[in-house]
Amino acid sequence: MAEKNNSIGRLIITLTVIGALGALFLAGVYEWTIPHILEHEARARERAIMEVLPEADYYEEVTHNDKIFYEGYDENDNFVGVAVSLRGGGYAGEIEIMIGTDPEAREIINIFILNHQETPGLGARITEEQFRENFENAPFSELEIVRRTPEEPQEIEAIAGATMSVEAVKNIVSRVGDIVSEYYGGGS
Amino acid sequence: MQSQELVVTSSPHLREETSVAEIMWTVNISLVPVMLAASYVFGLRALAIIAVSIISCSLTEYIFLRARNKEVTLTDGSAVVTGILLALTMPPAIPLWVVAIAAVVAIALGKQVFGGLGNNPFNPALIGRAFVTAAYPVLITTWTFDGQTAATPLNLKMMEGEITPYWDLFIGNIPGSLGETSAFLILLGAALLIYKGYLNWRIPAGMLTTVFLLTWLMGHDPVFHLLAGSLLLGAFYYATDMVTTPITPRGRWLFGVGAGVFVVIIRLWGGYPEGVMYSILLMNMTVPIINRFTRPRSLGEVN
Amino acid sequence: MAEYFAIFKNGLWNENPIFKLIIGLCPTLAVTNTVVNGFAMGLATGFVLISSEIVISLIKKFIPNDVRIPSFILIIVTFVTFTDYFLGAFFPDIADALALFIPLIVVNCLILGRQEAFASRNSTRRAIFDAVGMTVGFTWVLVLLSAIRELFGFGTLAGIDILGAGYTDMIIMILPGGAFLTLGVLVGVLNLLDRKVGSDNG
């Protein structure tokens, strides 16, 4: 450790040099890794969209008012539904959900949890097929949580011990109707 | 080796005639009516839970005392008290192995790692219960009544806004943990302890009054909140554990009021329907501070 | 050579960062709920530790004493950011699982602590042995801790089912509370072992 020569100039130069070299190195790392990172994100998104729009063969990204919609089409170019990704607060962090909808029937087709930090074994069960099935054919309206086998389409069966996580997913998904209807006027 | 002729100890030098064992066994006896009621309401399963809990607690205590080369003091009844109190927090349908795990945690992590009886900062039975609450959240919230799944009065109120009749709450004809059934029998046991002078009445008085007043102020049914759940049992038995509560009269009032505030906060705004366990554990943490700030001033002391 | 081996061995037990120094607990408690996560976190932290100890021991003569801590942090940040991007690009599953805790390696006091205590006062060769020793010491404890938590919490080890389908998951073991309890009990048991072994030797 250099004991003498602690002049202000020397301090500034040292930090600047270290910072500049680090930045240079990281710029290279960024250039090298970012294509791979973007590719993983795109692939994850594509898998989610295909999951929530099962009849779609391909999808197109459309922007309405800065909001991204994924329109799904089948092999004959027929419109089969639109997917949006919505986020909201969960029990332990933000939950991001891809939601596939059928604007004409004013129904949710399916949902897919993109990101979450819920408790493993409890809240994390929102990602399970059995829970997601609750949202199939759910209407564009406020959904309800019930503690029994659902009888009505808007009813969502609770997960024991994970009330907050289920509530969060319900609240996020309940918003989708208004957002989609605004640009894909249902029934028209 | 210690000298037999001269024993030098630090204060206090005044000694109580009553022994630990006498107090502990009186507490056990005062809990007999509640245990009988549990086995009447929930069947023999309740007795099995109590037996497993007592045996597991005693066994763990024995093993730890032997491992630490301490005198084995099972006959003082403190492990049995923990066993019974732990069993009374269990839902009747709980698998017996969960009870055993709770008992081992209660004695091992709740009591012995701190140095055994007298040194534990938290109520051991509640530590055991808190552990299995976090470990098996589904099993610990599965309530049964007459062989059917049923919601506890506090659950009913939280989910459906339904108030169970006072009389059912009072005599104990309701689903819940083993010990949170009959308000009447809890009061009976507590009366015995108060008569014998083993129960510091200030803590339950502070806790119950606070819950009554706060729920009333918030526009809820104060009598329901007093009788439902484990409030009475908690106030008289768990919040009065001599080791984990303040020693000064003012401190006991503070402890009781604090616990009452936490119960109301958790019940009315929390994610859980019942908050007695966490409220007492939270207040256990504050005991050293309470003791320090409520210490009576010595004669002639100047600040 | 014996001298270097002694430096290496220090990190494994005598100055084990977690058991003996009780530092670097943030990742220790947060991500050790599965063996894969624990191991990955050990390696990621180890990579940052080794790289920054090498760099700092090389340039220690040029760093003025007054700005040594900011300089160390800048160097550590560089390697942490590299790790973050590298994992995101080539090991996306691990990057997802460790998420926020990769950037948090920056504030792992184990890393800064070793720069201040060792790399800035020793030769590069000695620093390498210290960093590798600390890495192995940190990683083995993380793996042991996560093995216990995963076994009780999920009934599996490294994703392989051990306890069978009838096992009821002990949720607390996957939660931070379980990490505290397991670590506390482990430190107690290992110190007991240490004392036993020590008294036998002496």
Q: Is the pLDDT of residue B85 over 90?
A: yes
* Domain contains C177: yes
User: A150-154, A177-181, B209-213, B265-269: which has the minimum mean pLDDT?
Assistant: A150-154
pLDDT band at A4 (very low <50, low <70, confident <90, very high): low
Nearest residue, CB atoms, C64 vs list A11, A30, A32: A11
Contacts of A34 in chain C (CB under 8 A): 85, 89
Each residue of C95-132: b (16+ CB within 10 Å) or e? bebbeebbeebbebebbbbbbeebbbebeeebbbbbbb
pLDDT band at B277 (very low <50, low <70, confident <90, very high): very high
pLDDT band at B12 (very low <50, low <70, confident <90, very high): low
Rounded percentage of chain B residues whose pLDDT exceeds 70 = 93
SS3 per-residue string spanning C107-121 = HCHHHHHHHHHCHHH
Q: For B90, which DSSP code?
A: S
Of B62 and B139, the one with more pLDDT = B62
Report, as an integer, the average pLDDT of B2-14.
65
> Which of C102, C137, C131, C103 has its CA nearest to residue C115?
C131
Chain A touched by C35 (CB under 8 Å) = no
Q: Which amino acid would we find at residue B129?
A: R
Q: Do C175 and A119 touch (CB under 8 A)?
A: yes
Predicted local confidence at residue A31, as pLDDT:
95
**Where in the sequence is the domain holding C70, given as residue range(s)?**
2-15+25-201
pLDDT digits 0-9 by tens, A30-81:
999 999 999 998 898 899 999 899 888 889 888 888 888 999 998 888 888 8
* Domain contains B50: yes
Closest chain C C-alpha to A71 CA, distance in angstroms: 27
Contacts of B109 in chain C (CB under 8 A): 181, 185
Instruction: List the single residue in C with minimal CA-CA distance to A33.
Output: C89
Nearest residue, CB atoms, C170 vs list B109, B113, B135: B135
Between positions 126 and 165 of A, the ones with CB within 8 A of B are: 147, 160-161, 163-164
Closest chain C C-alpha to A132 CA, distance in angstroms: 21
Residue linked to tokens 């240079």? A24
Nearest residue, CB atoms, C88 vs list A6, A10, A37: A37
Q: Do A122 and B271 touch (CB under 8 A)?
A: no
Residues 6+ apart with CB under 8 A from B153: B163, B164, B169, B174, B175, B176, B224, B228, B229
Q: Which amino acid would we find at residue A179?
A: I
Of B54 and A91, the one with more pLDDT = B54
Q: Do A36 and C89 touch (CB under 8 A)?
A: yes
- Four-residue CA torsion sign, C125, C131, C137, C143: negative
Chain B touched by A122 (CB under 8 Å) = yes
- Four-residue CA torsion sign, C154, C160, C162, C164: positive
- Cβ–Cβ under 8 Å, residues A129 and A82: no
Predicted local confidence at residue B231, as pLDDT:
92
Q: Do C170 and B137 touch (CB under 8 A)?
A: no
What DSSP letter does each residue of C89-110 carry, written as one string?
HH-HHHHHHHGGGTGGGGG-HH
Q: Which amino acid would we find at residue C134?
A: M
Q: Is the pLDDT of residue B17 over 70?
A: no
Q: Do C71 and A40 touch (CB under 8 A)?
A: no
* Domain contains C20: no
Instruction: List the single residue in B with minimal CA-CA distance to A123.
Output: B137
Q: Is the pLDDT of residue B116 over 90?
A: no
Instruction: List the single residue in A with minimal CA-CA distance to C80.
Output: A26
* Domain contains B15: no
CATH assignment at residue B206: 1.10.3430
3-state secondary structure of B6: coil
State the Cα–Cα distance between residues C142 and C31, nearest whole angstrom. 9
Instruction: List the single residue in A with minimal CA-CA distance to C93.
Output: A40
Report, as an integer, the average pLDDT of B181-188.
86
Q: Do B131 and C173 touch (CB under 8 A)?
A: no
State the Cα–Cα distance between residues A70 and A63, nearest whole angstrom. 9
Residue linked to tokens 């692939």? A43
Cα-based torsion angle of the residue sequence B191, B196, B198, B201 in order, rounded to the nearest 10 degrees:
40
State the Cα–Cα distance between residues A131 and A125, nearest whole angstrom. 7
Tally of domains within chain B: 1
Q: Is the pLDDT of residue B1 over 60?
A: no
Q: Which amino acid would we find at residue B147?
A: G
* Domain contains B285: yes
> Which of A42, A41, A70, A40 has its CA nearest to residue A56?
A70
Q: Do B141 and A160 touch (CB under 8 A)?
A: yes
Contacts of C120 in chain A (CB under 8 A): 1
Q: Do B135 and C172 touch (CB under 8 A)?
A: yes
Chain A touched by B269 (CB under 8 Å) = no
Tally of domains within chain C: 1
State the Cα–Cα distance between residues B184 and B232, nearest whole angstrom. 10
Contacts of C185 in chain B (CB under 8 A): 109
> Which of C23, C40, C48 has its CA nearest to residue C109?
C23
Predicted local confidence at residue C202, as pLDDT:
40
What residues of A are in the C interface, CB distance below 8 Å?
Answer: 1-3, 5-6, 10-11, 14-15, 18-19, 22, 25-26, 29-30, 32-34, 36-37, 40, 117, 119-122
Nearest residue, CB atoms, A122 vs list B137, B142, B159: B137
Q: Which amino acid would we find at residue C1?
A: M
Predicted local confidence at residue B296, as pLDDT:
81
Contacts of B135 in chain C (CB under 8 A): 170-173
Report, as an integer, the average pLDDT of B231-240.
93
**Where in the sequence is the domain holding B283, given as residue range(s)?**
20-294
Predicted local confidence at residue B64, as pLDDT:
92
Q: Which amino acid would we find at residue C147?
A: A
SS3 per-residue string spanning chain A = CECCCCCHHHHHHHHHHHHHHHHHHHHHHHHHHHHHHHHHHHHHHHHHHHHHCCCCCEEEEEEECCEEEEEEECCCCCEEEEEEEEEEECCCCEEEEEEEEECCCCEEEEEEEEECCCCCCCHHHHHCHHHHHHHCCCECCCCEEECCCCCCCCEEECCCCCHHHHHHHHHHHHCHHHHHHHHCCCCC
Residues shown for chain A: 188
Predicted local confidence at residue A188, as pLDDT:
43
Predicted local confidence at residue C74, as pLDDT:
94
Which range scores top for mean pLDDT: A155-169, B65-79, C110-124?
Answer: C110-124
Spans of chain C below 50 pLDDT: 202
Report, as an integer, the average pLDDT of B77-84.
93
Contacts of B136 in chain C (CB under 8 A): 168, 170-171
Gyration radius from chain B CA atoms: 20
What DSSP letter does each residue of B167-209 carry, written as one string?
HHHHHT-S-SSTTSS-HHHHHHHHHHHHHHT-S-THHHHHHHH
- Four-residue CA torsion sign, A122, A125, A127, A133: negative
pLDDT digits 0-9 by tens, A109-124:
999 998 888 876 678 8
Predicted local confidence at residue C3, as pLDDT:
86
